[in-house]
Amino acid sequence: MNSLAKSWISISADSDFSIQNIPFGIIKHLKTQHISVSTRIGDTIVDLSVLADLGAFSSIKGFDKSTLTNLYLNDFIALGKTVTSAVRLEIIELFKESNKDINQKYTASFLQLKDVENLLPVKVGDYTDFYSSIDHATNIGTMIRDPKNALMPNWKYIPVGYHGRGSSICVSGHTFHRPKGQQKPADSEFPTFGPSKLLDFELETAYIVGKSTTLGESISTEKADDYIFGMVLFNDWSARDIQTWEYIPLGPFLSKNFASTISAWVVTLDALEPFRTKGYTQEPKVFPYLEYRGNKNIDIKLEVAIMPENSSETVICNSNYKYMYWTMEQQLAHHTINGCNVNIGDMMGSGTISGPEPHEYGSMMELSWKGTKPLKLNDGSERKFINDHDTVILRGYCQNENIRVGFGECKAKVLPAN
């Protein structure tokens, strides 16, 4: 791919959806209710099922047009990376500037943003969340345990992870009610019941598994990228007060599974490859099954904004995916070292991504330091945690001197407890 290629579709310089991106998602045409696999270029939605009807992709071996009108990307992903990567490259080719004159017929696949709704891109099977940012784990350990032993003894040996709930994963743009549950106030001997008072976001990314394994099989760090289709932004909403009371000894449960939000467009690992960067130096040395070669972190600039009802937004966090201690490849090798099988459509969350500086912390828990340092928003209000009617927006993109590849928004609005 020529990284300097321009498109004959209009794309603003700051768009996440450059011709080098070509993410995949599921859109519904609002007028016809037609559902299709699509991509986005600038502010233009391109319906891949129409492209295929017009003759595109027909020379790609193993391509199957019927996967483009499904409710989820899973069957498209199941065609394999050889096919899906070729589809992406053909789209880039179709819409690059030099091919404008010969490809005018493909404008029939174009839709405007206002005419479509993004649906959940993937039918998530099993969902796992990791805990792989060292700054986040250190901050939490410092706050709730001991600053001198902030990291648990296992943290630098194991990419710690746990199973989450797939059913409550929603696509960007949804609303949800503040969860109710049991909490035990620090000054009370007994628990109470009611709406969570400490609702928090968690700035994460997640990757979508693109190739299945069978029970008993393990994936090496070297082969792991073959099993990673692409990435999304992920807000792992958390109710801190419910979490504190419930999580010992078996981990977070109702404090997490009331709702999670992912961005609508799955950005392929292919599109992210130009932004690979060096990983964390891991000391102590990891076990052989966790060793990896090359640059496996990715320089993804991340931000979080809070938008109160009828007000403008305030950016409260700027972080970066490059701060991850454990890479996706290590997470997948660890997840399968015991023979656990993975399936296409499984989702693996990064865990909250915090950087070393206070403005890079990826949750209110850290940003307000457990509520002791309220944040000031542009409208003059303060936040220790997230209020009813607040919309929380995650954004993320990669940028070098030539190209920008991004995720768009991952946003959701909190409604009062019902």
Contacts to its own copies by CB under 8 A: 125-126, 128, 131, 152-154, 157-158, 160-168, 170, 176-177, 179-182, 184, 191, 193, 215-216, 239, 242, 245-254, 257-259, 287-289, 334-335, 337-343, 346, 418
Residue type, 192: T
List, in sequence order, the alpha helices (H) in 203-293. Answer: 240-246, 269-272
Nearest to its own copies of 345, 396 (CB atom): 345
Q: How far apart are CA 179 and CA 199, in angstroms?
A: 8
Nearest to its own copies of 88, 256 (CB atom): 256
- Phi, psi for residue 277 in degrees, rounded to 5: -145, 170
Nearest to its own copies of 190, 372 (CB atom): 190
Count CB neighbours of 119 within 10 A: 14
Cα four-point dihedral sign 319, 322, 324, 329: positive
Nearest to its own copies of 180, 197 (CB atom): 180
From 29, 136, 163, 174, active-site residue = 136
| DSSP states of 26-68 | EEEETTT--EEEEEEETTEEEEHHHHHHTTTTTTSTT--GGGG
Q: Which of 369, 349, 374 is nearest to 358 (CA)?
A: 369
SS3 assignment, position 367: helix
CB 302 within 8 A of CB 324: no
Give the shortest CB-66-to-its own copies separation in angstroms: 19
Give the shortest CB-243-to-its own copies separation in angstroms: 10
Give the shortest CB-155-to-its own copies separation in angstroms: 9
For residue 169 the two structure tokens come to: 């994963």
Q: Dihedral, CA atoms, 325, 411, 107, 28, nearest 10 degrees?
A: 120
Give the shortest CB-289-to-its own copies separation in angstroms: 7
Nearest to its own copies of 190, 401 (CB atom): 190
Give the shortest CB-53-to-its own copies separation in angstroms: 30
Q: How far apart are CA 362 and CA 304, in angstroms?
A: 8
Q: How far apart are CA 292 and CA 221, in angstroms?
A: 6
CB 216 within 8 A of CB 126: no
Annotated active-site residue 34? The verdict is no
CB 184 within 8 A of CB 394: no
Nearest to its own copies of 42, 161 (CB atom): 161
Give the shortest CB-331-to-its own copies separation in angstroms: 11
- CA 288 vs. chain centroid, Å, equals 28
Residues forming the active site: 136
